[in-house]
Every structure is written in C-alpha cells, then in structure tokens.
C-alpha cells in the first residue's frame, strides 16, 4: 500500500510548455500559409475572384487546361499557360541536370579523405555564396553584363576586340535567353546542392569505403557501388526540392527583360500566376491566377508521388507486401476455424 505522503505527491507535466514553444510556428503558418492556400482554392471557383458573387465552378480550370473554341480570351489564356509551363520544364531540366552533376562531383571531391585539398573551407564558402545573393541583385548584374545593346558589358568587350560585327541578343533571342537563365539558376543553386550531398556522403559509414579499398576497388567503382546507392535518400530529397523550386521559378525569368517588355521565351508558370493576378489583356482576374496556382499545386504533388514511387526501396516494399499477405492468410485460416488458432 502506498503511504499517505506518496499519494499526496502530484506528478508534474511539462507538456504544456512544449506546446507553448511550438505555438508561434503554427500561428504564423495558419495566418500566412494555410489560410492563403484555402483562400486560393476558394477563389478559383468564383468569377474574376475579386468577389464571391459569381460561382463558375470548374470553368477557370477548363479554360486554362483545354481552352475554348467559342471564346478568344479563354483560348489565349490556355495557349499562354501551356507556353509558360513548357518554358518552366525546359529551363528547370536545363539547370537541374548540370547542377546535380557538378554538385555531385564536387561533393565527392571535397569529401575524399585521400585528397588533401588546401583551402577546402574557403572554396565551399565561395561556391555557396551565390545562393545567399538576392535574385534581384543577380538579375541586375546579368542584365548589365549581357544586355542586348552595344553598351552591354560582354557585347561592348566583343565589339572592341572586333570579335563580332553586331551585338549578340542575349536577352531577346529564344535560345540565348534560355541558356542564360539555366546558367544563372545553376550558378546560384549548385553550392546549396553540393552542401546537401556532402552531408549525405559524410553520413556514410567510413568502414564501407575502407572495405572497398581493401577489396581493390578503384575510385569510380567505389562511387558507383557504394556512394551512389547510399546517397539515394538525399538524392530524392534534392530532386523533390529542386522540382518544387523549378515549378515555382519566378524572380530570374521575370526580372530579365528589356524595358517594360517581358521576354516570352523564358517566362514561367509562376509568372503566369503573377500576371493574371495583376493584369491580363482583357481584365485582372484573381480567378485565373488562383486556378493556375491550384493546377501547379496538383502537378507538383503528382510529380512528387512519382519520384517517391520510383525511388522507393523495392526490397523493403516486397518484404512488406509478403508480410501483409502472410497476415491476411493467417487471418483467413483463423476465421475458417471459428477464430481459433490451431
């Protein structure tokens, strides 16, 4: 029997203090992220989105995805969205592929214990620095360097050296503008990707590399057989975050322009959302902007599911499948014997 003194002792719970510490995050999240997300879904079903007077259902989605043969504005919005979405995919693939290759090679190089690289920390900082520079500053820098006119820094240099006859159209030319945006995105983000891949490599047990060296494996074999398979989780994370960032790419394509005219070959789906929110050739439409945002939301979710599915651990998935099948068979046997396990 517990004594009276023991009964009088009350347990103290500190759980409420934990909730107090995490409450600011959830409050800010609900106000600035969750509510705008819910409101975006709501606005996509109403007229021009400014008021909730005219419910149009899925009409905005239909016009964006399929257009309308009887409505010139709807057909124009449909064509514009798919042109911008095509630009988004091309620019994202064009900067992600070289970015992941360069980042992976540098990550392996910097984490190789056999290489004694002087100033390793200095190079890491320098390579990461473009990631912390604001996009507006980067756009202004590259506009000055690669301006279309003869007063652009690169054109001025090439003309003074008589290497070209006429200024190169870096911004307004379709191919040149896309390559320039791809280069800027790669230059800005490869340092961040490199740091993440380095953290993944440094988390691999060093004894695995030592065992591979003892077995006589060369550097390429170690990279292919040890490093890459064990980097799968961080590679999936990198792909997902890059894909989300690529579909939301806005600042660099929007800020690289000539005068007040946007360059159509590099405008992305996020620019479409912004433009429809503020103005269209016909009238401002929050409804089209919200509908395009919802479409991008679902596209991102579907692509994310595909990435996780194709990069899942197949052996673990097969093991769980067999275990589930065995449990089902056992349950059916028990049910056949009246619930008795014989």
DSSP 199-210: HHHHTS-HHHHH
State residue 81's pLDDT score.
92
User: For residues 75 and 333, what is the distance between their CA atoms, to the nearest angstrom?
Assistant: 60
Report the C-alpha gap between 115 and 129 in whole angstroms. 24
CA atoms within 13 A on the CB side of 297: 13
pLDDT per residue as tens, the chain (342 positions): 455 555 555 566 677 888 888 899 999 999 998 998 898 888 888 866 555 567 888 888 988 888 877 777 888 888 999 999 999 999 999 999 999 999 999 998 888 877 777 888 888 888 889 888 888 899 889 988 998 888 888 989 988 888 888 888 999 899 999 999 999 999 999 999 999 999 999 988 889 888 988 888 888 888 888 898 889 888 888 988 888 888 889 989 998 887 777 888 899 999 999 888 776 554 557 888 889 999 999 999 898 888 888 777 777 777 888 888 888 888 888 776 555 544
In a domain, 320, yes or no: no
Inside any domain, residue 226: yes
Cα–Cα distance, 177 to 26 (Å, whole number): 41
Residues in the chain: 342
Among 172, 171, 177, 168, which Cα is nearest to 90's?
A: 177
State how many domains the chain has. 1
DSSP reduced 3-state for 296: helix
Residue at 204 is within a domain:
yes
Kindly report the CATH number assigned to the domain that includes residue 54. 1.10.3720.10
Residue 328 lies in a domain: no
- Asked whether the beta carbons of 91 and 242 are under 8 A apart, the reply is no
The verdict on residue 201 lying in a domain is yes
Tokens of 105: 């090679």
Asked, for residue 148, whether it belongs to a domain, the answer is no
CB-based contact 87:75 (threshold 8 Å): no
CB atoms within 10 A of CB 158: 16
Show the domain range for 107: 45-133+179-313
Q: What are phi and psi of 41, to 5 degrees?
A: -60, -40
257 DSSP 8-state letter: E
CA dihedral over 137, 142, 147, 148, signed as positive or negative: negative
Both tokens assigned to 1: 């029997």
Residue 240 maps to a domain:
yes
> What pLDDT shows up at residue 337?
53
**What pLDDT sits at residue 5?**
53
């Amino acid at each position: 029997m517990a004594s009276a003194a023991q009964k009088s002792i009350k347990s103290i719970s500190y759980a409420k203090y934990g909730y107090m510490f995490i409450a600011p995050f959830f409050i800010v999240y609900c106000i600035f992220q969750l509510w705008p997300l819910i409101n975006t879904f709501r606005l996509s079903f109403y007229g021009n989105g400014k008021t909730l007077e005219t419910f149009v259902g899925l009409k905005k989605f239909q016009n964006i995805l399929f257009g309308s043969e009887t409505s010139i504005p709807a057909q124009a919005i449909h064509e514009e969205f798919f042109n911008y979405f095509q630009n988004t995919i091309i620019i994202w693939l064009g900067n992600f592929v070289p970015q992941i290759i360069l980042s992976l090679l540098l990550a392996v190089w910097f984490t190789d214990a056999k290489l004694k690289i002087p100033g390793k920390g200095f190079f890491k900082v320098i390579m990461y620095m473009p990631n912390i520079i604001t996009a507006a500053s980067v756009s202004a820098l590259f506009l000055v360097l690669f301006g279309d006119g003869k007063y652009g820094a690169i054109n001025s240099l090439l003309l003074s050296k008589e290497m070209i006859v006429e200024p190169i159209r870096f911004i307004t030319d379709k191919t040149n503008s896309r390559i320039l945006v791809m280069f800027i995105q790669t230059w800005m983000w490869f340092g961040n990707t490199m740091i993440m891949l380095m953290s993944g490599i440094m988390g691999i047990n060093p004894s695995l590399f030592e065992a591979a060296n003892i077995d006589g494996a060369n550097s390429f074999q170690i990279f292919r057989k040890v490093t890459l398979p064990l980097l799968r989780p961080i590679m999936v994370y990198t792909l997902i975050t890059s894909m989300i960032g690529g579909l939301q790419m806005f600042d660099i394509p929007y800020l690289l322009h000539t005068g007040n005219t946007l360059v159509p070959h590099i405008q992305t789906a996020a620019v479409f959302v912004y433009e429809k929110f503020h103005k269209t050739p016909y009238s401002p439409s929050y409804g089209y902007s919200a509908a395009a945002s919802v479409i991008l939301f679902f596209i991102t979710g579907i692509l994310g599911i595909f990435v996780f599915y194709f990069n899942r651990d197949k052996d673990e998935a097969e093991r769980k499948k067999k275990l589930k099948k065995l449990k089902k068979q056992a349950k059916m046997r028990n049910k056949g014997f009246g619930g008795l396990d014989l």
